[in-house]
Every structure is written in structure tokens, then in C-alpha cells.
């Protein structure tokens, strides 16, 4: 059912908003740690390997040119991803003829592609940044020669309404596919389904691309580029074999620095293989909508500290049950990783037991929504226990300390950047995904969604 997308952007927005109440949003001032501090000597080697990568990418592109417009991507394309002050990453895509470039939230946790559309686009409660207040770029329908209203009988209309489509499109006369209303937790958007040309870097034109033309939204910093698993998502429309990214560490500002989002399509001579990547299977959720559009992976355990102490996690939360609840999803649209209280409790307990050198500040924890915060007077030499997520297939995600402990400027303390609903005793069974791996924990990892082989590739890497 496409109406209710419990997108998890909302949770992150809430957190950012609550933290951003005093001017600038919190910044991460330093990431001194034994784990992250070995970069100086590897710089020149990294540079050479970068050049090698660019050369291969260029060869890929030259060998599989994309001459004619097509509804799918042949070959490959790259486009920049920008960390944003609202806590997500933004990708700019160009739609229409002539092309209009529109920045969108890059979201692997939802599937509809939609743009703020027409001059009369209205957005309520959409100011997310003190640095760059509300100026939302809109797609001007009237200036494009190629947009089409989606017809009710088009298979694309069924992407939105699934089996409901017949009830919504009575009779057999041509009529527009009905207006959509998408709920993203607190926020929402509504508009009309259209098709347009999508222009990708490298003179690639994808025609007949399904897109929402939204005229009214609540709590949306930008439109959304849905990279989820439902048919309407960009990867499925373009029939991508894989896509990958490496998220730059973000400071919740809007500096124009970026890293690449790589899209590998059909017939690409470029496998996009990156050395040293480890793979874990992408699981299908046994239940239907909305959970089947998320990228599930199997977290097998979490270990803490040098002694690699295993956190005691209730196993029924780790894999989706037949009714679809439980399991871990990867979501670029969430800022901080979310954990069900049943998993969060034991993690906090172990982390706190191994962090004895700093003073815990319970009052700040209650007030901020972060579950583990420390007052550290001498911030020149901060260290926390090692944190490793283990996934099926022997894949280890050893997090850089900066990915899970940050100095919160507004609060004046250091907090674990993994969050959970505040009630200490959550439900005894999970509802929806039990863990949502947010973009903050994905920083400085190469992450590859290998759709062809239904697996997720991970590699620790300094993104540039």
C-alpha cells in the first residue's frame, strides 16, 4: 500500500530540530581516536588509487556510450551527493526539456521519486536550517516540453496503487492516475503522477521516467529521490545492476563538498568492482508493503570494546518475522541509527560498563533523547570502547569513533549517536524494522547495493 510510507526521515528531522533550537546545529568538533588516526601516511597512496578509479570509470563510460534516450540506464553514471544541514544527503537530478536541475533527498528508505512542482508549490514547516533558510527549488512544469500526465491504465499508476488501482480508476475511459498522498511519519507530500525525461551526467537521457509532481508538502526539506526496493524507485525504473556511495562525514552544514553516487546500469562494461568489499545478503521481508521496499540485512551480533564483548540481543528482533516485524534496514534518509529499546538497552548497558573514565550526565540524556551522554572536561584526548556491527557472511562494520560518539555543541556533552524511543520498556515484540542503520553510521564506508546479486557490499574507506 503506497499511502503509508513510514519513512524514517521524520525521526531524524525531529532530532535535528530539537537540537537546532539554539543557533547553529551541533557540530562535531573532533574525532580523536586510536582508530581513526592513521591517515597522514596513506594520503599519497589514496590519491594514486583515486586516479586509477577515475580512469577506470571514464573508460567504462567511453566503452558503453548511451546514445539514444531509453527508459533504462545502459552503461553507468555518476552524480554528486552533498551532506546537508537537515541531516541527510542531497542528490541533484535534472528533469524535463530543457533540463531543470532539482536537489532531492537521497533516500534508500522510500521509493517514490517526487519533486516540488509548479510555481504554486507550498510547503508547511519546511525550514530545517538556520544557515540556509527555506528556499526550495521547484520544477516548473510549464517550461518543459516533455512532461506527460500518467494515465490510469498505465502500469506506472499501478506502482502507486497496487491492487487498489482498479477501484481508483473505474471504467475504461482514459483518465489521469489519481493524486497521491504520501505519509512520511510526521511529514507528507501530495501531487500528481507524471512522466518526464531524466537527464543524468554524461549526456544520458532516460525517457518516460515516473515522477511525482508535488504541489503540497509538510516537513520536507526538498523533494525525495526514492532509492528503495519498490517498482517506482530510481534503481528499479532504470533497471540498475547496482548503485554505490561513500558518504562524506557531515557537519550539518551546507558546504558545497560532495562525494559520488555511482549508478551501474544494464550492458555496462564496467562491473564497478571495488577491491576489498565484503558482502552480506540483502534479505526479502516476508510480509508485503511497506516493509518489502526496505533493504534488509542480517545483523548477527554487536561487540563492544577491545575484549569484543558480545552485547546480549534478543534474537527475535534481529530477523524479520513472518508478519514482517524485526530485522535491520539500511536507510540513507535517517540521520542517526535507530534501535528498538529491546536492543538499545543492552547496548547502552555494555557501552556504559566499559566507559568508566567519564562522568555520565543522565539529565542531559533525558532532555535530549540521546541515551548515553558524558561530560568530558579534557576533550583533547577522548576515547570510547570500540563498536562493531557484525553481519551475516562474516561482514564486520567497525565504526570509526566519530560515527557513534559526537560532541553536541548545544548540550556541551558527548553523546552516543544512536537513538531509541524514550520509553525504557518498549514492546516485547518489534513493530517494523528493529534497527534502522542511519547515514551517520554509514559515513566513511563504501556501500554498494548489488541488486543483481541481492547483496550489500561494505568497506571502510575515507570518502573524499
Ligand X SMILES: *[C@@H]1O[C@H](CO)[C@@H](O)[C@H](O)[C@H]1NC(C)=O
Q: Which residues are catalytic?
A: 107, 331
**36 part of the interface to ligand X, by CB under 6 A:** no
Q: What minimum distance in Å lies between the beta carbon of 186 and ligand X?
A: 8
Q: What minimum distance in Å lies between the beta carbon of 378 and ligand X?
A: 7
Q: Using CA atoms in the order 125, 128, 134, 139, what is the torsion angle rounded to 10 degrees?
A: -80
Which positions from 201 to 220 touch ligand X by CB under 6 A, shown as an x/- string? -----------------x--
**27 part of the interface to ligand X, by CB under 6 A:** no
Q: How deeply is 56 buried, as exposed, middle or buried, from its count of CB atoms within 10 A (0-12, 13-18, 19+)?
A: middle
Between 124 and 375, CB nearer to ligand X:
124
Long-range contacts formed by 387-390: CB under 8 A, 24+ apart = 387/302, 387/303, 387/304, 387/351, 388/302, 388/303, 388/304, 388/308, 389/299, 389/302, 389/437, 390/299, 390/300, 390/301, 390/302, 390/303
Between 100 and 189, CB nearer to ligand X:
189
Q: Cα–Cα distance between 130 and 413 in angstroms, integer?
A: 22
Q: What minimum distance in Å lies between the beta carbon of 135 and ligand X?
A: 18
Q: What minimum distance in Å lies between the beta carbon of 88 and ligand X?
A: 19
**30 part of the interface to ligand X, by CB under 6 A:** no
**72 part of the interface to ligand X, by CB under 6 A:** no
**Region for 308 from its dihedrals, namely left if φ exceeds 0, alpha if ψ lies in -120 to 50, beta otherwise:** left
Between 217 and 258, CB nearer to ligand X:
217
Asked whether the beta carbons of 106 and 227 are under 8 A apart, the reply is: yes
Which positions from 217 to 246 touch ligand X by CB under 6 A, shown as an x/- string? -x----------------------------
Between 25 and 228, CB nearer to ligand X:
25
Q: What minimum distance in Å lies between the beta carbon of 398 and ligand X?
A: 20
Asked whether the beta carbons of 131 and 253 are under 8 A apart, the reply is: yes
Residues 389-428 that bind ligand X (CB under 6 A): none
**124 part of the interface to ligand X, by CB under 6 A:** yes
Which positions from 125 to 154 touch ligand X by CB under 6 A, shown as an x/- string? x-----------------------------
DSSP 8-state symbol, 151: B
Is the Cα dihedral 196, 270, 443, 298 positive or negative? positive
Q: Cα–Cα distance between 109 and 245 in angstroms, integer?
A: 15
Q: Cα–Cα distance between 447 and 452 in angstroms, integer?
A: 15
DSSP lists the bridge partners of residue 449 as 243, 456
Neighbour tally for 133: CB within 10 Å: 9
Residue 98: cis peptide before it, omega within 30 degrees of 0: yes
**381 part of the interface to ligand X, by CB under 6 A:** yes
Judged by DSSP in three states, 169 sits in coil
Between 32 and 429, CB nearer to ligand X:
32
Judged by DSSP in three states, 202 sits in coil
C-alpha cell at 404: 557513534
C-alpha cell at 251: 557537519
Q: What minimum distance in Å lies between the beta carbon of 376 and ligand X?
A: 12
How many residues line the site for ligand X (CB under 6 A)?
A: 4
**33 part of the interface to ligand X, by CB under 6 A:** no
Between 191 and 272, CB nearer to ligand X:
191
Between 307 and 323, CB nearer to ligand X:
307
Binding residues for ligand X, rule: CB under 6 A, are 124-125, 218, 381
Amino acid at each position: 500500500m503506497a499511502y503509508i510510507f513510514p519513512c524514517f526521515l521524520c525521526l531524524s528531522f525531529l532530532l535535528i530540530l530539537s537540537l537546532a533550537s539554539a543557533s547553529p546545529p551541533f557540530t562535531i568538533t573532533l574525532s580523536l581516536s586510536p582508530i581513526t588516526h592513521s591517515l597522514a601516511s596513506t594520503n599519497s597512496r589514496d590519491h594514486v588509487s583515486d586516479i586509477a578509479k577515475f580512469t577506470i570509470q571514464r573508460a567504462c563510460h567511453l566503452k558503453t556510450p548511451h546514445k539514444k534516450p531509453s527508459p533504462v540506464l545502459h552503461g553507468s553514471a555518476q552524480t554528486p551527493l552533498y551532506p546537508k544541514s537537515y541531516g541527510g544527503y542531497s542528490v541533484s537530478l535534472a528533469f524535463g526539456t530543457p533540463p531543470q536541475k532539482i536537489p532531492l533527498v537521497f533516500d534508500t528508505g522510500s521509493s517514490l521519486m517526487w519533486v516540488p512542482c509548479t510555481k504554486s508549490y507550498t510547503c508547511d514547516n519546511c525550514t530545517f536550517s538556520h544557515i540556509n533558510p527555506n528556499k526550495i527549488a521547484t520544477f516548473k512544469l510549464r517550461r518543459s516540453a516533455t512532461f506527460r500526465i500518467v494515465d490510469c491504465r498505465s502500469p506506472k499508476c499501478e506502482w502507486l496503487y497496487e491492487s487498489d488501482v482498479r477501484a481508483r480508476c473505474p471504467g475504461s475511459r482514459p483518465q489521469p492516475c489519481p493524486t497521491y498522498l504520501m505519509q512520511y511519519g510526521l511529514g507528507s507530500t501530495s501531487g500528481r503522477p507524471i512522466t518526464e525525461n531524466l537527464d543524468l551526467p554524461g549526456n544520458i537521457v532516460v525517457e518516460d521516467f515516473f515522477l511525482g509532481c508535488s504541489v503540497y508538502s509538510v516537513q520536507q526539506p526538498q523533494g525525495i529521490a526514492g532509492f528503495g526496493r519498490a517498482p517506482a524507485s530510481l534503481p528499479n525504473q532504470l533497471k540498475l545492476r547496482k548503485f554505490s556511495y561513500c558518504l562524506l562525514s557531515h557537519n550539518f552544514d551546507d558546504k558545497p563538498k560532495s562525494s559520488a553516487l555511482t549508478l551501474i546500469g544494464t550492458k555496462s562494461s564496467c562491473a564497478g568492482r571495488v577491491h576489498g568489499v565484503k558482502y552480506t545478503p540483502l534479505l526479502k521481508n516476508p510480509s508485503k508493503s511497506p516493509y518489502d521496499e526496505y533493504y534488509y540485512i542480517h545483523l548477527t551480533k554487536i561487540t563492544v570494546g577491545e575484549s569484543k564483548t558480545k552485547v546480549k540481543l534478543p534474537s527475535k528482533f534481529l530477523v524479520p518475522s513472518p508478519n514482517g516485524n524485526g530485522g535491520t534496514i539500511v536507510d540513507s534518509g535517517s540521520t542517526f541509527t535507530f534501535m528498538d529499546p529491546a536492543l538499545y538497552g543492552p547496548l547502552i548497558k555494555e557501552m556504559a560498563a566499559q566507559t568508566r573514565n567519564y562522568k555520565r550526565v543522565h539529565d542531559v540524556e533525558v532532555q535530549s533523547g540521546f541515551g548515553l551522554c558524558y561530560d568530558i572536561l579534557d576533550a583533547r584526548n577522548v576515547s570510547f570502547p570500540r563498536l562493531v556491527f557484525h553481519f551475516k557472511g562474516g561482514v564486520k562494520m567497525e565504526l570509526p569513533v566519530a560515527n557513534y560518539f559526537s560532541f553536541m555543541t548545544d548540550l556541551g556533552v558527548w553523546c552516543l549517536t544512536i537513538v531509541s524511543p524514550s520509553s525504557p520498556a518498549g514492546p516485547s515484540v518489534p513493530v517494523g524494522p528493529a534497527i534502522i542503520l542511519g547515514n551517520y553510521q554509514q559515513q566513511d564506508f563504501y556501500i554498494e547495493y548489488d541488486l543483481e546479486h541481492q547483496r550489500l557490499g561494505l568497506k571502510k574507506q575515507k570518502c573524499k
